[in-house]
Chains A and B, each alone.
Chain A
Amino acid sequence: MAADAFKLDTGNTAWMMTSAVIVLMMTVPGLAFFYGGMVRSKSVLNMMVMNFVAAGVVGFIWILYGYSMTFAGNTSGFNEIVDNPFKYFGLAGLTDDNSLLGGSGVPALVAVGFQATFAVITVGLITGAIADRIKLGSWVAFSAVWVTAVYFPLAHMVWGGGLLSGDGPIASALSTPIDFAGGTVVHIDAGAAGLALVLILGRRKGWPKEPMRPHNLPYVMLGAALLWVGWFGFNAGSEGAADGTAGRAWINTFVATCVAMLAWMATEKFRDGKATSLGAASGVVAGLVAITPAAAAVDSYGAMIIGLFAGVLCALAVGLKFRFGFDDALDVVGVHLVGGIVGTVLIGFLATDQQGGWFPDGAERGLLYGGGVTQLATQVVVAAIAVVFSFVLTYVIGLVIKAVTGLRVAEADEVGGVDFALHGETAYDTTPATGGRVKEGISA
């Protein structure tokens, strides 16, 4: 990229800036509402704050050294795993001539901003697993350490020219792994991390015997809708340009999500007797997750099949936590880990470069499209590496933070609600009798 002089493409640049904005919208306020509505009313503020804090912590670290650690062009000496955090520290020295998206005429800083929003949402996703019970300071510390030790390396491995990219050993041994927009980097990553963290954090008091039903389902629907809209920036934006491949990613993102939503609702109808609003919202997200790695690498039928599998399998997978006894409060494992694996592995069956589909060099067609089992094997290996990498490192990080600062709030604070215990606030003032009095000393 650096070899040719940078030539600005305003159309592509405008699309990437738009994508970056709507991907940020997925976390704040999308995830904040999606998860905020699903917790009980005594911890909705804390859930929203944790997502805002994820944006705050990760956003500033990304600019400081995160971008450099992920995309410095293989200058660290450990290029399979991680890049050099100091090459573009504070973005110093980064010019349009070495823009990550220079090939499509998008300036360096626009690419930095677009990728920042991916790091933010990956950390935000983990909040769903640990709802209602983690100290705010421990969450801040975890966000900073986790994004540095897990997200940046994995994003570098897949997209920055490392182990799981087209330049890595898996590409030479099997075929180039396909992860168009972040099935491994974002969803398997966050899902496995959520699982590891809840195993250390433990169950919420009363779970699973006490009912912990969502306190505001319209919030959940609103959050899911914001995620759906923003996801077009996530997937179609991952092309890095406004072109036909982005269009293919857009269409697949749309249709897979439609099918997944219906599939989740149908599963509920057959199993529980009623299709629910929470099921519709969850189906939307499951479909979006699963199509993410495959977004431009399958045709329309492939996208529908991925949506179908995602809707049904994730609707079934959210029951796993009860069977195995881990309190993944809002189903980050059932939706993101399972959905991420479904999408990543189904690429091995469905990948095609027909109908406007996209392939990285060295990838093969899927098993059902005449490409044999090579790509399937690659996808399974990549998914497994992402699960193990994220789970093991997150487990270690969680144990260290638990030993240094502790992770959980006091039991009385958890029962009384973390909104008041951690933030001194109450989400809903439903009666004038609770309005209180102004303290002396405050003047108008």
Chain B
Amino acid sequence: MKLVTAIIQPHRLDDVKSALEAAGVKGMTVSEASGYGRQKGHTEVYRGAEYTVDLVPKVRVEVLVDDPDASAVTEAIVSASQTGKIGDGKVWTVPVDAVTRVRTGETGAEAL
């Protein structure tokens, strides 16, 4: 199994959700995040005083998938969240040792 984690632009979340549903993903965890990559945040001006806001709002999407689905899910996220502008985010995948469904006690791929 694999954990696919995506950091995306907040305004792309709805499209990413639809794309994941279309790819057959049954569940996901979404959390608000803040951070920066190469875009290095942005500046805001309040009463003439310029502030560098380096941590900008992002959304983190986490999806647990079976090994063969990982690349399709990654592609679905990338194509749904890409705007081509700096700050679009990143997607990465890591191996997962074990998964248990809390309600039933099912484990492994059954629990996805």
Answer whether residue B97 sits at the interface, using C-beta atoms and an 8 A cutoff: no
Q: Could you give, for residues 96-112 of chain B, a 1 whenever the CB lies within 8 Å of some chain A CB and a 0 otherwise?
A: 00000000000000000
Complex CA distance for A315 and B51, rounded to whole angstroms: 17
Which A residues are in CB contact (< 8 Å) with B44?
Answer: 213
Contact B45 A274 (CB under 8 A): yes
Complex CA distance for A279 and B47, rounded to whole angstroms: 6
Which A residues are in CB contact (< 8 Å) with B47?
Answer: 278-279, 282, 315, 318-319, 331, 334
Q: Could you give, for residues 308-325 of chain A, a 1 whenever the CB lies within 8 Å of some chain B CB and a 0 otherwise?
A: 000000011011001000
Answer whether residue B52 sits at the interface, using C-beta atoms and an 8 A cutoff: yes
Answer whether residue A276 sits at the interface, using C-beta atoms and an 8 A cutoff: yes
Contact A319 B45 (CB under 8 A): no
Answer whether residue B86 sits at the interface, using C-beta atoms and an 8 A cutoff: no
Q: Taking the nearest CB of chain A, how far is it from the CB of B30, in angstroms? A: 14
Complex CA distance for A259 and B87, rounded to whole angstroms: 39
A331 closest partner in B (C-beta): B47
Contact B51 A271 (CB under 8 A): no
Q: Taking the nearest CB of chain B, how far is it from the CB of A110, in angstroms? A: 38
A interface, how many residues as a size bin?
20 to 34
B53 closest partner in A (C-beta): A211
Complex CA distance for A208 and B49, rounded to whole angstroms: 10
- Interface of chain B residues 43 through 67 with chain A (CB within 8 A): 44-53
Contact A211 B51 (CB under 8 A): yes
Answer whether residue A406 sits at the interface, using C-beta atoms and an 8 A cutoff: no
Complex CA distance for A319 and B46, rounded to whole angstroms: 10
Give the one of A268, A272, A278 with max B CB within 10 A: A272
Which A residues are in CB contact (< 8 Å) with B48?
Answer: 268, 271-272, 315-316, 318-319
Q: Taking the nearest CB of chain B, how far is it from the CB of A400, in angstroms? A: 32
Which A residues are in CB contact (< 8 Å) with B46?
Answer: 213-214, 276, 278
Q: Could you give, for residues 185-223 of chain A, a 1 whenever the CB lies within 8 Å of some chain B CB and a 0 otherwise?
A: 000000000000000000000001001011000000000
Question: Chain B contact residues: over half helix, strand or loop, or mixed?
Answer: strand
Complex CA distance for A276 and B50, rounded to whole angstroms: 13
Complex CA distance for A282 and B51, rounded to whole angstroms: 18
- Interface of chain B residues 26 through 53 with chain A (CB within 8 A): 44-53
Complex CA distance for A273 and B49, rounded to whole angstroms: 13
Which B residues are in CB contact (< 8 Å) with A331?
Answer: 47
Which B residues are in CB contact (< 8 Å) with A279?
Answer: 47
Q: Taking the nearest CB of chain B, how far is it from the CB of A42, in angstroms? A: 17
Complex CA distance for A208 and B50, rounded to whole angstroms: 11
A335 closest partner in B (C-beta): B47
- Interface of chain B residues 62 through 109 with chain A (CB within 8 A): none
Which A residues are in CB contact (< 8 Å) with B45?
Answer: 268, 272-274, 276
Complex CA distance for A319 and B50, rounded to whole angstroms: 11
A282 closest partner in B (C-beta): B47
Which A residues are in CB contact (< 8 Å) with B51?
Answer: 211, 213
Q: Could you give, for residues 279-297 of chain A, a 1 whenever the CB lies within 8 Å of some chain B CB and a 0 otherwise?
A: 1001000000000000000
Which B residues are in CB contact (< 8 Å) with A272?
Answer: 45, 48, 50
Complex CA distance for A320 and B44, rounded to whole angstroms: 19
Other contacts beyond A268-B45, A272-B45, A319-B47: 12, CB < 8 A: A213-B44, A213-B46, A213-B51, A213-B53, A214-B46, A271-B48, A272-B48, A273-B45, A276-B46, A315-B47, A318-B48, A334-B47
The 8 closest A-B pairs by CB, nearest first: A211-B51, A272-B45, A318-B47, A319-B48, A213-B46, A213-B51, A278-B46, A318-B48
Q: List 15 A-B contacts (CB under 8 A).
A: A213-B44, A213-B51, A214-B46, A268-B48, A272-B45, A272-B48, A272-B50, A315-B47, A315-B48, A316-B48, A318-B47, A318-B48, A319-B48, A322-B49, A334-B47
